[in-house]
Structure 1
Amino acid sequence: MATTKELNVEDKLRAIYDLQIIDSRIDEIRNVRGELPLEVEDLEDEVTGLSTRLDKLKSDLVTIEEQIKNKKNAIDDHQAAIKKYTAQQKEVRNNREFNSLTKEVEFQELEIQLAEKQIKELKASIEHKKEVIANSKEKLDQKTTHLKHKKAELSDIMAETQKEEAFLIEKSAEYEALIEERLLAAYKRIRSSVRNGLAVVSIERGASAGSFFTIPPQTQVEIAARKKIITDEHSGRILVDASLAEEEREKMQKLFAHL
């Protein structure tokens, strides 16, 4: 390919229109993927979050079961203490000692009642946790299945388009190298500011493609002469004549056909 210095205006117009065709094709490929990569990423985050929550819930369950076990052991200790104090009451020598042991027995009985109440509450908590775990597991299974399908979908699209996209990115860089820095900067600025990414458009039925504003006849003649870079005063887009555009589209189609 010729160097930047050797390009005349027509060659510049052809090069920048070719670049537009290539970049638009890259846009199309990426639009096919759309939000899928982000969707996959979000699903992966959701699955990770749900897995972490499920692990925490299961850990909580183990902790609660351990607490119930400790409460039951405490009840056994309190019952043993009651048995001991009751036995001691039979051997006391006065009412003061007997009453003191009675208070100890009552205290142990209150501790047993409290422990039993706490066990009941802990068992209710276990049932609730199990329900939450079941719901979380169901949701995790659904999200994991959904993620698997979306990954497969993305993988299929990537397999179909990766080679073409890599080729086009390489070609885009080649054509960028042909275009002078100031013109390339203008092209990139316009591309980033318009929704469809079209910075270079052809004249169609007296107006720039995609625009309702008519190009004055004298301007159309100047565009067709290909002697200077002309932009649309309304959109700022670089304008090329329909014949040049058609020739370059055919050329690019042959280039794409080899993929």
Structure 2
Amino acid sequence: MATQKKSAEVDYSMQEKILALYELQKINSRIDEINKVKGELPLEVQDLEDEMTGLRTRIEHINAEIEELNTLTKQRKREVDQARILIGNYKEQQNNVRNNREFDAITKEIEYQELEIELAEKRLKEYSAGVKAKKLQLEEAEAVTAGRAADLEAKKAELAGIEAETAPQVARFEEEAVRVREKIDQRLLAAYERIRNNVRNGLAVVTVKRDACGGCFNRIPPQRQVDIRQGKKIIVCEYCGRILVADPESEE
């Protein structure tokens, strides 16, 4: 049973793991170069999509505000109609009053309703002006949205064309990366990915050339170079933190 398990799992040496890391770096660098063809397109597409989301939200808010103003307009118009009905009723009652006190009381009610009508009509004018202003804002927002939508479709089409053209190459390199990753344990892979994410050019593994780190170009001491060539352990640059490997071509 133990023999079967050992045959199924290959025990790679540290030197083989280091070389596999270097090979993985070369593959990832090729993928990075292909992705550079896209330039700023992915970010531009994302920015346009975010802007479109904001514009749609703005349009929804404007429409909601217009709807609210229309609702208030209907409400005020009903209040005006009800006030006019009351005024008509009060005027009929004035014809049947028995004394001046009743007449004065009804007159005050009529004056109150007339004031209510005046106030409501003032509000109606404000609502009407508000609706006009909101409709102008809506037209502007819709025009901007239409322009951004056209830009977004163009950018998406351009990006899709580049991705379709480069997809076979990327797929091939990713298959190679999977094969190489099998030689590297998870701890080393995690360290490799962490360094790649922390450096600007994505170079986590670099060679020593002309006695210097291939990432930051700081000098590497001779004894450290000997340790790197021996490949018995992972050695990182004390200046930039990249993993250092001997240049296979110079070694040959």
Shorter-chain TM-score category? 0.7 to 0.9
Specify the SS of the correspondent of 1:212.
coil
1:213 to 210, 215, 218: 218
More displaced, 85-94 or 152-161? 85-94
1:63 to 59, 68, 84: 68
1:145 to 150, 166, 184: 150
**Cα deviation per residue 1:166-187 (whole Å; 9 max; x = unaligned)?**
2211211111223466665664
- Alpha-carbon spacing, 1:15–1:127, altered in 2? closer, same or farther (3 Å): same
> Which gives a bigger RCO, structure 1 or 2 (Cα 8 Å, sep 6+)?
1
- Alpha-carbon spacing, 1:106–1:168, altered in 2? closer, same or farther (3 Å): same
Q: How does 1:70-219 map to 2 (within 5 A)?
A: 70-179=75-184, 187-188=192-193, 190-215=195-220
TM superposition score normalised by structure 1: 0.74
Q: Which residue of 2 aligns with 1:238?
A: 244
More displaced, 152-161 or 164-173? 152-161
User: Is the Cα contact below 8 Å between 2:203 and 2:215 reproduced in 1?
Assistant: no
Quote the Cα distance in structure 1 between the aligned partners of 2:106 and 2:189.
Answer: 98
Displacement after TM superposition at 1:204 (Å): 3.4
Specify the SS of the correspondent of 2:206.
strand
Q: How does 1:5-24 map to 2 (within 5 A)?
A: 5=11, 9=15, 14-24=19-29
- Alpha-carbon spacing, 1:179–1:151, altered in 2? closer, same or farther (3 Å): same
Specify the SS of the correspondent of 2:207.
strand
User: Is the Cα contact below 8 Å between 1:13 and 1:240 reproduced in 2?
Assistant: no
- Alpha-carbon spacing, 1:219–1:41, altered in 2? closer, same or farther (3 Å): closer
Q: CA RMSD in A?
A: 3.4
Matched, 1:228 2:231: yes
Quote the Cα distance in structure 1 between the aligned partners of 2:80 and 2:186.
Answer: 85
Quote the Cα distance in structure 1 between the aligned partners of 2:190 and 2:97.
Answer: 104
- Alpha-carbon spacing, 1:108–1:42, altered in 2? closer, same or farther (3 Å): same
Q: Which residue of 2 aligns with 1:252?
A: none
Quote the Cα distance in structure 2 between the aligned partners of 1:184 and 1:85.
Answer: 90
- Alpha-carbon spacing, 1:185–1:94, altered in 2? closer, same or farther (3 Å): closer
Specify the SS of the correspondent of 1:201.
strand
Quote the Cα distance in structure 2 between the aligned partners of 1:144 and 1:44.
Answer: 9
> Gaps (5+ residues) in structure 2?
1-8
User: Is the Cα contact below 8 Å between 2:97 and 2:103 reproduced in 1?
Assistant: yes
Quote the Cα distance in structure 2 between the aligned partners of 1:49 and 1:153.
Answer: 23
> Gaps (5+ residues) in structure 1?
248-259
Quote the Cα distance in structure 1 between the aligned partners of 2:190 and 2:67.
Answer: 63
Specify the SS of the correspondent of 1:178.
coil
Amino acid at match of 2:231: K
Amino acid at match of 1:94: N
Quote the Cα distance in structure 2 between the aligned partners of 1:8 and 1:75.
Answer: 89
User: Is the Cα contact below 8 Å between 2:87 and 2:113 reproduced in 1?
Assistant: yes
Amino acid at match of 1:228: G
Displacement after TM superposition at 1:121 (Å): 1.6
TM superposition score normalised by structure 2: 0.75
Aligned length: 241
- Alpha-carbon spacing, 1:101–1:8, altered in 2? closer, same or farther (3 Å): closer
Q: Which residue of 1 aligns with 2:5?
A: none
